[in-house]
Amino acid sequence: MASSSEHHHQQRVLNAGVLGATGTVGQRFVVLLAQNPAFRIHALGASERSAGRAYRAAAKWKMSEAMPAAVADMEVRACDPAQFGGCDVVFSGLDASVAGDVERAFFEADFAVFSNAKNYRMDPLVPLCVPVVNTDHYALLAAQRAAKGLRRGFIVTNSNCSTSGLVVPLKALQDRFGPLRRVVVTTLQAISGAGYPGVASLDILDNIVPLISGEEPKMEAEVLKILGGLRADAAGCAPLADLRVSATCNRVPVVDGHTECVSVEFAAPAPPSIDEIKQCLREYTCEAQRLGCPSAPRQAIVVTDDEDRPQPRLDRNAGGGMAVTVGRIRPCPVFHVKFTLLVHNTVLGAAGASILNAEYAARKGYIVAV
């Protein structure tokens, strides 16, 4: 479905709407979009509690960057498609309790929707897209539009934030060394992953909480969809059937950046060496980089040989938060290899991924002018 007018789409500044603009992911969208020359923030939406108020008053601003001047006095709108006319793309950082209905209203009203919420991730006609991994899943959009009778509208989702870090090195290994058989992952997830106000300080300070409700089954299922392919007619997904994933998720007292301890078994009986694995991860590239999308990291996977890295405070902003840092790559006495990775949960894990998804979609001609 790539259009011959890719160049034209690439040049046009896109009007962006942000749903859930006052929340943790929404604020990250606002910061990233304000510094991205490919987008202009056109409309901000949130709940009825915020609608009608100036953004500076409605958002409890938690970003370390200043609130962009261009949005401070914008009036927050209700999340109603009728109030988002003129938006070429709509980004959603909506709470999952409302995202299902609100996002459906937007794509059925023919908006191009890029969502962070879990509601549509496992729909077989919806690309669950980590933009440095599986942009080939955009081929589903033709069938999605046909099924809904849409001309411009569609929905593309991001993965869960922990999933987004995990699949990047797994994709590199799968592409180079063939199928994986088993993956065991233990996460150490930042507080910002729970949104605002999130976990009570008395629960998380001086503590670790060994439960993030619903997180483990989401990770286990999403990895199979993302690393899988599409049906031959591109009218549905074909998740991996032979990979088994086990996830254990913990909340730790870190503000931003999810750390994950990963063990991998390859299907091939003779596994690659540790040096071959490091080289494979260093050399990994993706289509969004090749297309020159502005938010694509120069290096998708940063491999560190420092024995005590990655660390959230030191490494979460690698590649502007769009790179995954992988360290402690060593043999595993149970599986074949184990390593520790770090992903910025609100950048590659959320808003940054949506924005790169939209840059990719624009370059490939999927975004139809209003």
Ligand X SMILES: NC(=O)C1=CN([C@@H]2O[C@H](COP(=O)(O)OP(=O)(O)OC[C@H]3O[C@@H](n4cnc5c(N)ncnc54)[C@H](OP(=O)(O)O)[C@@H]3O)[C@@H](O)[C@H]2O)C=CC1
Enzyme catalytic residues: 161, 258
Residue 92 touches ligand PHD, criterion: CB under 6 A = no
Phi, psi of 173, deg, nearest 5 = -70, -40
Residue 23 touches ligand X, criterion: CB under 6 A = yes
Collect contacts of 234-243 with beta carbons under 8 A, ≥24 apart: 234/139, 234/140, 234/142, 234/143, 235/125, 235/140, 235/143, 236/124, 236/125, 236/140, 236/143, 237/124, 237/128, 237/137, 237/140, 240/179, 242/179, 242/181, 242/267, 243/179, 243/180, 243/181, 243/182, 243/183
Residues 329-368 that bind ligand X (CB under 6 A): 345-346, 349-350
Residue 102 touches ligand PHD, criterion: CB under 6 A = no
Residue 122 touches ligand PHD, criterion: CB under 6 A = no
x/- mask, ligand PHD, residues 148-167, rule CB under 6 A, reads ------------xx------
- Pick one of 117, 132, 224, 361: the residue that binds ligand X (CB under 6 A): 117
Smallest gap from Cβ 161 to ligand PHD, in A, equals 5
Task: State the alpha helices, DSSP H only, in the chain.
Answer: 6-11, 24-34, 55-58, 69-72, 96-108, 141-148, 161-177, 201-204, 215-227, 274-283, 287-290, 312-315, 352-363
Give dist(CA 45, CA 29) in Å, integer.
Answer: 12
Report the residue closest to ligand X, judged by CB.
23
Stretch that binds ligand X, among 16-24, 224-232, 314-322, 335-343 (CB under 6 A): 16-24
Beta strand pairing call for 244-251 and 258-266:
unpaired
x/- mask, ligand X, residues 55-94, rule CB under 6 A, reads ------------------------x-------------xx
- Give me 10's structure tokens: 């690439």
- Give me 172's structure tokens: 């590199």
Q: Are 154 and 145 in contact (CB under 8 A)?
A: yes
Smallest gap from Cβ 173 to ligand X, in A, equals 24
Nearer to ligand PHD (CB atom), residue 216 or residue 315: 216
Residue 116 touches ligand X, criterion: CB under 6 A = yes
x/- mask, ligand X, residues 157-186, rule CB under 6 A, reads ----x-------------------------
- Pick one of 41, 99, 113, 184: the residue that binds ligand X (CB under 6 A): 99
> How many residues in the shown chain lie near ligand PHD by CB under 6 A?
12
Query: Prior bond to 310 cis, omega within 30?
Result: yes
Q: Are 76 and 52 in contact (CB under 8 A)?
A: yes
Stretch that binds ligand PHD, among 77-85, 170-178, 189-197, 311-319 (CB under 6 A): 189-197
Smallest gap from Cβ 330 to ligand X, in A, equals 29
Binding site for ligand PHD (CB under 6 A): 96, 116, 118, 160-161, 189, 193-194, 212, 215, 218, 345
